[in-house]
């Protein structure tokens, strides 16, 4: 099955296994069963009425050897962003994910108007840097019941992405960056490139440092690194539809080109 959409194509950068099964693509992370966006089936079209039982059975068959993957996830490679019969899945206990997909080439990127006072950006290079990344990403869930589980999942992601940044995936290069204000780490962002097509990963700023221009500066500075040092010709960014982040990307010159829609089962689904 040939992947057409920028979102689905670049999602393959962040998973352990990509299995082309002809009529569907399975993306799998056997070592990260809780990584819902990394254990999924991608279909060539949006769901129609009556597809749910067949799609669920197909997921169960393709993930039968990974019993710890307890939530089904479905996406479809439709560059038009059709939702099809997503509402029928939603009524059965699925969450609908709606995202914008934006692109920028070097000529699209708009100059950065300003950087926050005391702002610096450095690439993660050592154990201390990589250990700090999941802690920063989980900062907004501190004090909640799911914080420990979320931190474990983010630590697993960081281990995988560090291996990629250090050359574990031939043809895929990139890295992760930490933004600081006056020396204190406040944000993270990753960028990974294959054959000139680059995808951002997890643009995140801790709650206490938001609305100060940190995310804008990070995205711009990492874009310049991707273009100037890593051979990128096109950058791909995704954001929740209607979010503040999407507005930031638009102001930087990222063009809206597609809409991405998917379904993720709420906790307790597959194992129940």
On average, the pLDDT of the chain sits at: 93
pLDDT of 68 higher than 70:
yes
Q: What total number of domains does the chain contain?
A: 2
Separation between Cα atoms, residue 81 and residue 11, nearest integer Å:
16
Residue 54 in this model has a pLDDT that exceeds 90: yes
Q: Does 126 reside within a domain? A: yes
The answer to whether residues 156 and 59 belong to one domain is no
> What confidence tier does 269 reach under pLDDT thresholds 50, 70, 90?
low
User: Does one domain contain both 176 and 86?
Assistant: no
pLDDT tens track for 165-205? 999 988 999 999 999 999 999 999 999 999 999 999 989 99
Assign residue 187 the CATH number of its domain. 3.40.630.30
146 and 64 belong to one structural domain:
no
In a domain, 239, yes or no: no
Asked if residue 255 is part of any domain, the answer here is no
Q: Is residue 243 part of a domain?
A: no
Which of 2, 69, 60 is closest to 29 using CA atoms? 69
pLDDT given at position 62: 97
Asked whether residue 151 falls in the same domain as residue 81, the answer is no
- For residue 24, the enclosing domain spans 6-100+260-265
The answer on 68 and 158 residing in a single domain is no
Q: For position 270, what pLDDT does the model report?
A: 62
pLDDT digits (tens, 9 = 90+) for 131-143: 999 999 988 777 6
220 and 128 assigned to the same domain: yes
Residue 109 lies in a domain: no
- Judge whether residue 232 has pLDDT over 90: yes
Report yes or no on 34 lying in a domain.
Answer: yes
For residue 11, tell me if it sits in a domain: yes
Residue 271 clears pLDDT 70, i.e. is over it? no
**pLDDT at residue 237 in the model:** 95
Residues 40 and 131 in one domain: no
Residues 82 and 152 in one domain: no
């Amino acid at each position: 099955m040939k992947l057409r959409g920028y979102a689905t194509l670049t999602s393959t950068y962040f998973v352990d296994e990509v299995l082309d099964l002809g009529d569907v693509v399975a993306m799998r992370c056997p070592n990260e069963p809780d990584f819902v966006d990394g254990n999924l089936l991608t279909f060539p079209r949006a769901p129609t009425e009556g597809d749910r039982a067949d799609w669920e059975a197909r997921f169960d068959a393709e993930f039968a050897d990974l019993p710890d993957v307890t939530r089904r996830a479905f996406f479809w490679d439709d560059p038009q962003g059709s939702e099809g019969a997503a509402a029928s899945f939603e009524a059965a206990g699925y969450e609908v994910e709606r995202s914008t997909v934006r692109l920028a080439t070097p000529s699209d990127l708009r100059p950065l108007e300003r950087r926050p006072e005391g702002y610096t950006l450095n690439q993660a290079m050592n154990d201390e840097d990589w250990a700090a990344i999941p802690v920063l990403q989980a900062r907004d869930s501190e004090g909640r019941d799911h914080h420990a589980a979320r931190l474990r999942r983010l630590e697993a992601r960081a281990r995988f992405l560090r291996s990629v940044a250090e050359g574990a995936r031939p043809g895929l290069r990139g890295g992760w960056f930490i933004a600081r204000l006056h020396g204190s780490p406040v944000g993270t962002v990753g960028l990974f490139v294959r054959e000139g097509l680059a995808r951002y990963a997890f643009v995140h700023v801790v709650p206490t440092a938001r609305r100060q221009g940190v995310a804008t500066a990070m995205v711009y500075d990492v874009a310049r690194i991707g273009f100037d040092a890593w051979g990128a010709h096109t950058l791909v960014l995704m954001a929740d539809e209607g979010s503040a982040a999407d507005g930031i990307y638009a102001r930087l010159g990222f063009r809206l080109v597609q809409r991405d829609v998917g379904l993720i089962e709420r906790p307790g689904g597959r194992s129940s």
